[in-house]
Amino acid sequence: MRSDSSRTFTELARRRQIVDGAIDVLADEGYAAASLAAIAQRVGISKGVISYHFAGKDELLSEVVASVLAQAGEYMGPRVTAARPGLEALRAYVRSNLDFIDGHRRGLRALVEVLRGSPPRAGEPAPYGPEREDAVTALARMLAEGQRTGELTEFDTRHAAVALRASIDAVTELLRTDPDLDVQSYATDLLRLFEQGLAR
Amino acid sequence: MRSDSSRTFTELARRRQIVDGAIDVLADEGYAAASLAAIAQRVGISKGVISYHFAGKDELLSEVVASVLAQAGEYMGPRVTAARPGLEALRAYVRSNLDFIDGHRRGLRALVEVLRGSPPRAGEPAPYGPEREDAVTALARMLAEGQRTGELTEFDTRHAAVALRASIDAVTELLRTDPDLDVQSYATDLLRLFEQGLAR
Amino acid sequence: MRSDSSRTFTELARRRQIVDGAIDVLADEGYAAASLAAIAQRVGISKGVISYHFAGKDELLSEVVASVLAQAGEYMGPRVTAARPGLEALRAYVRSNLDFIDGHRRGLRALVEVLRGSPPRAGEPAPYGPEREDAVTALARMLAEGQRTGELTEFDTRHAAVALRASIDAVTELLRTDPDLDVQSYATDLLRLFEQGLAR
Amino acid sequence: MRSDSSRTFTELARRRQIVDGAIDVLADEGYAAASLAAIAQRVGISKGVISYHFAGKDELLSEVVASVLAQAGEYMGPRVTAARPGLEALRAYVRSNLDFIDGHRRGLRALVEVLRGSPPRAGEPAPYGPEREDAVTALARMLAEGQRTGELTEFDTRHAAVALRASIDAVTELLRTDPDLDVQSYATDLLRLFEQGLAR
DNA sequence: CATGAATGAGAGTTCATTCAT
DNA sequence: CATGAATGAACTCTCATTCAT
């Protein structure tokens, strides 16, 4: 993979444009309908351009995932960092994550489509499995920090992290069928549940 | 849809065999690779046989889902019914559900593949969305029952049900990357978390 | 081809039943939709029965054609024979033919479907070409007879026969789009046209 | 449907080439044998190319029909227009139509194959039924014009038009079994028949 | 840089036919 | 006699990819 800095400005702009088009198609029509032809049409370019700028469909979809994850990181990072380590950081994490999900529905929808649609390849880890694992691990670390500060009781941090991440991720799916879901309220309830459930 | 009783013994056996083959392929190679050709090859029959016994791929995949859900129902049903309504029933639900997941990994893997892979059709509800919704609703009812018995405090039962179902479902995904996961232990932790989190 | 007399009564009844079913499907749904499965379903038997009673689909369709042609012959034959040779016989031919077409729309529709749908085989005469040719020849003979009696002038009888047969056959097609067509009136006009056109 | 002018020169050439190949296969082997594979093989390209240039088989076959009809129009139009309205125009119509049929046997053969082979779709008019109807109507109008000029007597113009069109169309079928048919002579006989039959 | 054109593999589906029971 | 079951070939169509221009 070439780094961003090795690319010209125009090239980066084209890639950005294509990735955005892919997100649009994925969000609106789903993984199966997100053919290169459909994406090219949405962007208003020819299929060849995509092949020219991306090694293949896989790289394009990776870029979609990376793009959304990067945005999420940019949004959540400062908020979590600003919080006091431990319970407060956990709250910031959950709140900012759900805020982000609520505010970037299309991007999240596209992300989930790629995660769900990508076929596993024999002999390789599940597609985007490492990313998931990293997220769980990071969350487990925050919970452990809460234990260290004494705000949280003893429990298996990985198990709790798995449950919490799943509970957060469920919202994207939920929003599809119920766009009027009050995400803020869900965040509050989720935090109350986990705080009380994991409190000392 | 014809009923089981309108089918001959041989036909039911073939359908069963094909459904099992589909589950195998789905579990091992994922949704995208589960072509009729692949399934037929796995079973050792020709593609035409599948078309002969099923109206189409959709019906076959529906049968895969129905089959696993029916098995789950058979396993969980008696255990939940036997328990005292309220908290005890909730415990039976979570335990038996995770037990079932642990004991039917391939079936669950296949189920998830179908749920994830099935492309949405314009103007229709998300594929198997109703089934998901039903599961959440059933769980919410159990939580409400716990509130009525006084074992659980007041909270949004739907929100909690969403989180709990997501936390349970996460296990199937988890088992793919970590087959050694101690599901029993996860069940215990999950129950502790939710019981304490939702207790009066 | 076995003769009728070499068949048991039951067998003949079954063949009749299947041929009638084929006519129904052909008339209602067209050649392309007239699969053995569709015909078997319409009759209420299994596909195998058809294969048992007919050497193949070709023989079945031949039988459909033969059946309708035989009916037409039974209807028209006596009427034409009863007429005085020459112009009167010609009138009887055209009238009774159009009468028959008008009264056996489904059979004619089926007949036309088979004639149109049957794919030509390399090295063989056009399907049912001989039957068509026979019909033209017969008609040409009647016209020649009219010339001999002096009722008709000199002209190429084959050319006129071709035109007349085509003008008659056109009615079946016409009836499809315009079921209210007044066939009697068409017959009258057609006869006037040809009589005057070919009169001495 | 895109217009010709929105297509590149190369694309138009390819479409032309494919349409010609389709005509060849249709004329030589009939509708049933005119699969995309057969057409592609005849042209010497891969099946995909056809799908690339045509939305589907239907569009290709429509193009075959349109192509032949357009050629016919180009040939007949000026000849009919140049003639004095009434009987003379009618003569020009019949003569030029049969001339065209005689000179474009393969195209006509292909046209007839498509017309005959195209399966009817439930709820829609018969395939290319409107085109047929238009042809009959146009002919009826010419006959009516002949009545207005006093060259023709009173009769049902639609009935006569149906018969005349059928008599003309019969030639294509006839040419298949009898390639040596003298079309000119047939045209002469047909005109004499109809002129005398419809004359005042 | 970008395009249009072409490829070829693979998808699901249909269907006439065969055969053991 | 009749059936249900199975076959295997052929069908149209889709799509990621490649390539000459």
**pLDDT category of residue A119 using cuts at 50, 70 and 90:** confident
Paired tokens of B72: 């789950």
Measured CA distances, A95 to A98, A107, A132, B197, D142 (Å)? 5, 18, 19, 18, 81
Position D16 pLDDT exceeds 80: yes
Query: For residue A23, how many other CB atoms are within 10 A of its CB?
Result: 26
Give the SS3 label for residue D25.
helix
Cα B41 off chain centre by: 26
Residues of chain B below pLDDT 70: 1-6
User: Which of the 23-52 residues on chain D come under 7 Å of nucleic strand E at their beta carbon?
Assistant: 45-49, 51-52
pLDDT at D65: 95
Residues C46/C52, Cβ–Cβ less than 8 Å = no
**pLDDT category of residue D3 using cuts at 50, 70 and 90:** low
* Chain segment C123-166, per-residue pLDDT in tens: 777 778 888 999 999 999 999 999 999 999 999 999 999 999 99
Q: Is the CB of D193 under 7 A from strand F?
A: no
Any C CB within 8 A of D158 CB: no
Task: Kindly list the residues from chain B whose CB atom is less than 8 angstroms away from the CB atom of residue A190.
Answer: 159, 163
Q: The CATH number of the domain where D57 resides is what?
A: 1.10.357.10
Paired tokens of D111: 């046209």
User: Residue B166: which of A33, A170, A199 has the nearest Cβ?
Assistant: A170
Total number of domains in chain A: 1
Paired tokens of A200: 């000392």
> What average pLDDT does the segment D173-185 reach?
92
Residues A86/A149, Cβ–Cβ less than 8 Å = yes
Q: Report d(CA C93, CA C80) in Å as an integer.
A: 6
Q: Which domain holds residue D30?
A: 4-198
pLDDT at C182: 96
3-state secondary structure chain C: CCCHHHCCHHHHHHHHHHHHHHHHHHHHHCCCCCCHHHHHHHHCCCHHHHHHHCCCHHHHHHHHHHHHHHHHHHHHHHHHHHCCCCHHHHHHHHHHHHHHHHHCHHHHHHHHHHHHHCCCCCCCCCCCHHHHHHHHHHHHHHHHHHHHCCCECCCCHHHHHHHHHHHHHHHHHHHHHCCCCCHHHHHHHHHHHHHHHHEC
**How long is chain D?**
200
Q: Is the CB of C51 under 7 A from strand E?
A: yes
Task: Kindly list the residues from chain D whose CB atom is less than 8 angstroms away from the CB atom of residue C191.
Answer: none
Measured CA distances, A55 to A45, A60, A115, A174, B126 (Å)? 17, 8, 19, 34, 32
* Chain segment C44-102, per-residue pLDDT in tens: 998 889 989 998 899 999 999 999 999 999 999 999 999 999 999 999 999 999 999 99
Task: Kindly list the residues from chain C whose CB atom is less than 8 angstroms away from the CB atom of residue D113.
Answer: none
Which amino acid, C194?
F
Residues B22/B61, Cβ–Cβ less than 8 Å = yes
Q: Report d(CA A192, CA A91) in Å as an integer.
A: 10
pLDDT at C74: 97
